[in-house]
A and B are shown apart, each in its own frame.
Chain A
Amino acid sequence: MTPGPPDHGPSPTIWPLGFAVGIAVALVGLIINPEWIASIGAFIAIVFGFLWAREATSEMRRQVPVVRAEVREMTPAEAAALPPAAEGEAAMAPPQPGERFPRSRFLEGATLGLGGVIGGLVTVPVAGFALLPAFLDQKGHEVDMGPVSAYPIGKWFIGTFMVDPAEGEVSRRTAFIRNNGPVQNNVPSFTIISNRCAHLGCPVQANGPTGAILGEKNVTEHTKNGSILLRPVVPAGFGCPCHGGQYDTEGNRTAGPPVRALDRYAFDIKNGHLVLLSTYSVSHVVGSGGQAKIYKYKPAGPGQHVDGPEQWFYPLQPPHH
């Protein structure tokens, strides 16, 4: 082999092609058959990716040959010119006793070590203070929505309320509420849909006439959560003004970008009052009203899938109330 400039270009290889095919199969599989074809594609991508990485790094992993330093032998004349080893000054001072751990190195270590300890003592509480409060003590709120008698059976209301009156307007929320009437065993049933869009959290509006157009009056209930405004509405569905997501009256997505149905509020009846509890997420609802089968999930943020293979992207939710 003639010596020349080393060639650093990659050698031709087939592995990236196989990797790309694997990715393509996985992506197509996600659409047609997430369980089998996507898994096969992922398997192909992982195998070829491994082989590709192995080949690409083979140069780096090769053992470095041991090269001995070149030594030039002294000519006899040069050797004769040197003084005998026993004469003249020593080429190097003899090692001082006790210098195995010199003072300078101790000070260096002490400075870095103490500096690290002090830095850690300051950083840990500060970083904890910056990060943790957002995740600890996420308290739920119960919202008293007024007496059940304020909700005639089968009628929709747009309920506007403050979750925490002490916090003020920033805690104002809206829910679409319908009294479905008692179901089996006389258990009361309410459909209470959060107006937070399942796409990116904009306020969903009811598609239909409200208040004056219906010839009905808004109702204001005064409870321990302040004043609760109830506006009668006859919705054909719900729609989001931001990006056009549309839902039916059970909150199922009918069009647009949302990834699931609208969230719902859990509720309770306390002393004859309707009380809203925490929200939960819903993938879809089959049926309607009191007979609806609601596919419930833990609360997830807008835009996050709760079912299908996309739910794997959100395996761990931060603490919720």
Chain B
Amino acid sequence: MPPIRRSPTKAQIRREQALAAMTYPLDWLEERSGLVGGVRYFLMRKVPSDTNWMQTLGSASLTAFLVQAITGVILAMYYKPSPHDAYSSIQNITDHVFMGWLVRGMHKWGASVFIILMFLHMGRVFLFGAYKYPRELNWIVGVLILVLGLMEGFTGYLLPWDQTAYWASVVGINLNGTAPFLGPWLAQFLRSGQEISGDTLSRFYSLHMLVIPGGIIALITLHLYLVIRLGVTSPPWSKEAAGAEVSEEPAPLRSGLTRPVAHGSSGGRD
């Protein structure tokens, strides 16, 4: 007996039309850029089934960086990097601009959060052995991000232009100056001359909000690309990675950089 095919009800037709209308913009974008597929690939890629909360520290660091970037851009709208105005503009942000105290506080405390999260993330990667072949390059990129993050801390510390900021920067710059051979030159570059001056402040401001963040963004992009390409590691205690629990499918062979297909990070698109 042939199956009975009923014509769709009105409600079904309406639902389908609504769905098509909603996905139309996404389809339009996907057809012209492939971005939807790319984002889906990024977000829906397979990871080992036994990952744990420790492996969210990288995303947490990224989130902390984004908070710094956004709050920093907004602070730059009110901050004036000149020796006459810097301190008073910070007081203005804190005391008078609506919610300025909050955004400045987020930026100030978030800076420490960013650094702490990077160190925790680094510790996780170290303890999980996730820096080993083939992920050595990603460890190196991560270390560079950490160094740039610390430089952000150093250059940002001068910007409030109060006594603490001034003298801490004097000490920090002179510490750089004691490095053998090129130290005195590095210190003079940072100071923008022989003595601390207004130029030092604008220089630190430029480094803090343009040069170093640009470098961090570029390195984070490379870092994420390598994470996606090489896949997420299983924890060291993983039975699955050790091959103790054999799935129904025959275990695929390792070849080159790719991990077994069962771990879902073969590098190819699904």
By a beta-carbon cutoff of 8 Å, the part of chain A in contact with chain B is: 131, 133-135, 138, 163, 167-171, 200-203, 242, 300-304, 313-318, 320-321
Shortest CB-to-CB span from B242 to chain A, Å, is: 23
- A167 and B194 in contact, given A242-B167, A304-B184, A318-B185 (Cβ under 8 angstroms): no
8 residue pairs from A and B, CB less than 8 Å apart: A167-B197, A168-B198, A200-B175, A201-B171, A202-B171, A301-B183, A304-B178, A313-B180
Given contacts A202-B171, A314-B184, A316-B181, 10 further A-B contacts (CB under 8 A): A135-B185, A163-B195, A167-B198, A201-B173, A201-B174, A301-B178, A301-B184, A303-B178, A314-B180, A316-B184
A24 to B76, CA, bound (A): 52
| Closest residue of A by beta carbon distance from B179 | A313
A167 to B83, CA, bound (A): 9
| Closest residue of A by beta carbon distance from B193 | A134
Number of interface residues of B (CB under 8 A): 26
A317 to B194, CA, bound (A): 11
A134 to B184, CA, bound (A): 12
| Closest residue of B by beta carbon distance from A321 | B194
Q: Are B174 and A170 in contact (CB under 8 A)?
A: no
Report A-chain residues with C-beta under 8 Å of the C-beta of B184: 300-301, 304, 314, 316-318
Q: Are B181 and A301 in contact (CB under 8 A)?
A: no
| Closest residue of B by beta carbon distance from A131 | B189
A320 to B194, CA, bound (A): 7
Interface majority SS (helix, strand, loop, mixed), chain B: helix
By a beta-carbon cutoff of 8 Å, the part of chain B in contact with chain A is: 83-84, 167, 170-171, 173-175, 177-178, 180-181, 183-185, 187-189, 191-198
Report B-chain residues with C-beta under 8 Å of the C-beta of A318: 184-185, 188, 194
| Closest residue of A by beta carbon distance from B163 | A203
A315 to B175, CA, bound (A): 17
Of the residues A133, A171, A304, contact of B192 by C-beta under 8 Å: A133
Of the residues B84, B174, B181, B196, contact of A302 by C-beta under 8 Å: B174
Of the residues B175, B178, B197, contact of A170 by C-beta under 8 Å: B197
Report B-chain residues with C-beta under 8 Å of the C-beta of A202: 167, 170-171
Shortest CB-to-CB span from B161 to chain A, Å, is: 9
| Closest residue of A by beta carbon distance from B180 | A313
- Which 10 A-B residue pairs are closest in the complex by CB-CB distance? A313-B180, A303-B178, A301-B177, A201-B174, A318-B188, A200-B174, A200-B171, A302-B174, A170-B83, A201-B170
A320 to B185, CA, bound (A): 11
| Closest residue of A by beta carbon distance from B203 | A134
Report A-chain residues with C-beta under 8 Å of the C-beta of B185: 135, 316, 318
Report B-chain residues with C-beta under 8 Å of the C-beta of A135: 185, 188-189
Report A-chain residues with C-beta under 8 Å of the C-beta of B189: 131, 134-135
A242 to B192, CA, bound (A): 24
Report B-chain residues with C-beta under 8 Å of the C-beta of A301: 174, 177-178, 183-184, 187
Shortest CB-to-CB span from B232 to chain A, Å, is: 29
A168 to B189, CA, bound (A): 21
Report B-chain residues with C-beta under 8 Å of the C-beta of A200: 170-171, 174-175, 178
Report A-chain residues with C-beta under 8 Å of the C-beta of B198: 167-168, 170
A169 to B84, CA, bound (A): 9
